[in-house]
Amino acid sequence: MKIAIYPGSFDPITKGHLDVLETGAEIFDKVIIAVARNSEKHGFLTIEERVDLIRQSCAHLKNVEVDSFNGLTIDYAQQKGATILLRGLRAVSDFEYEMQLSQNNSALNHNIKTVFLITKPKYNFISSSSVREILLNGGDITKFVPEEVKIYLEKKYKC
């Protein structure tokens, strides 16, 4: 059974993240999307809010599990019996950071491989930081996040 971990901050989950997750769920037997708890320090939403919004957004994906973790991603992956780390690539600007991360992880544990997926072009420009910026300035986030996330964020920030 091929298990993949999709780690990230997901602050909040976007349509780009969801697209990568849906493709990952088609390729692998099981995908665990996991919020890195060390990303809370500079966070916008709490880890619990992020996990809850991911859960609502991927309820249609039966082989996807939602979780959060502390510490190194590769240690968490090993603990879950996963051999794949799933990451998304948007543009060349993501590439350098992602390559370094994947090579660091590979140096720490060469049994765990990173697989990169590219989103549909219509989601290429989306980032969690742009969603936060648009939301806090009263803009429309419909095109950027799943419906459940939009409802929650607009209620919380009273847009």
Q: Are strands 30-36 and 64-69 parallel, antiparallel or unpaired?
A: parallel
The DSSP line for 34-76 is: EEEGGGSTT-SS-HHHHHHHHHHHTTT-TTEEEEEE-S-HHHH
Q: Which of 4, 5, 18, 20 binds ligand ADP (CB under 6 A)?
A: 20
- From the list 4-12, 26-34, 55-63, 64-72, the region that binds ligand ADP by CB under 6 A is 4-12
Binding mask 121-140 for ligand ADP (x = CB under 6 A): --x--xxx------------
Q: Which residues in 71-95 are b (16+ Cβ under 10 Å) and which e?
A: eebbebbeebebbbbbbbbbeeeee
9 is catalytic: no
DSSP letter assigned to residue 144 = T
Angle at 29 between CA 68 and CA 101, to 5 degrees: 50
Which residue type sits at 100? Q
- From the list 15-23, 55-63, 74-82, 134-142, the region that binds ligand ADP by CB under 6 A is 15-23
Does 144 bind ligand ADP (CB under 6 A)? Our answer is no
41 is catalytic: yes
Does 141 bind ligand ADP (CB under 6 A)? Our answer is no
- End-to-end CA gap in the chain: 44
Which of 15, 17, 30, 150 is catalytic? The answer is 17
113 is catalytic: no
Which residue type sits at 16? G
Stretch 84-113 residues interacting with ligand ADP (CB under 6 A)? 87-88, 90, 94
Q: Which of 4, 17, 58, 77 binds ligand ADP (CB under 6 A)?
A: 17
The residues that touch ligand ADP, with contacts defined as CB under 6 A, are 8-10, 14, 16-17, 20, 39, 87-88, 90, 94, 119, 123, 126-128
- Residues with catalytic roles: 17, 41, 90, 128
